[in-house]
Structure 1
Amino acid sequence: MRRHSIARCIAIAMFGYILLSPFKGMAEGRDLTAQKLKSMLDSGQKMFLLNPLSDIEFNEGHIPGSVNIPLHTIMRSDKLPEDKDTLIVTYCLSPQ
C-alpha cells in the first residue's frame, strides 16, 4: 500500500467534512479511533462507510463493506445514503 502524507489525509478529511456537512453523521464532526470504529462494526451498528480516495487507492486496500466515492465525484454521486439520519463515517489511509 502506498504511503500518503499527513497533509493529504487531513485535506481529504476537511473536504469530506465540508462537502458532506448536510448529512447528520458528518455535521457532528466526531473523530473515531480505529479501535472505536472496529467496535462499532463488530456490534453491527448501522453506518455508511465512505472512502473518498481514488479508485486505484481504494483497490490497494479498504475496509470491507466501505463504498468508494472519489472526492472529486461526491457532489454528483448517487451512492450516498438518502436517509439523512444515516451515520456517515469517512476515512482515508493513515500515515505509517
Structure 2
Amino acid sequence: MLSAETKKPPEGRLFFDRANFLVKIGRGCAKLVEPVGLVVSRTYEVAWKKQTLDMAELARLRFEEGLGSRKISVLMGIPRTTAITAVHRLEKQHGLR
C-alpha cells in the first residue's frame, strides 16, 4: 500500500572511481560514467593486404567453363565474396548485368 506522504527520490551522487572516471549514481541505480581529464590515444597505420586477381583466368573459369563462385574461389585461392564481386564487376563492364 502507498502511504499518504510521498518521499522525494535522492539526488544523484558524484564520485571518482579507481580509474579516475567521474561516476554518477542516479535514480533507478543507473550508473553513468564520464571520463575526466586527459585522454591519450595513439594512431597506427595499417597496411591492408589487397589481393590482385587474374581477371582473365576468372573470366575463363566463369564464362568458358561455367563454374560457380564456390569452385572459382577454391581454384583461385580467394574468398568467395571476392570471387562474386569480381564476377559482378566483369558482368557489369561487358553489359551482361
**TM-score bracket, shorter-length normalisation:** under 0.3
Larger strand proportion, structure 1 or 2?
A: 2
TM-score (norm 1): 0.19
TM-score (norm 2): 0.19
* More RCO (CA 8 Å, sep 6+): 1
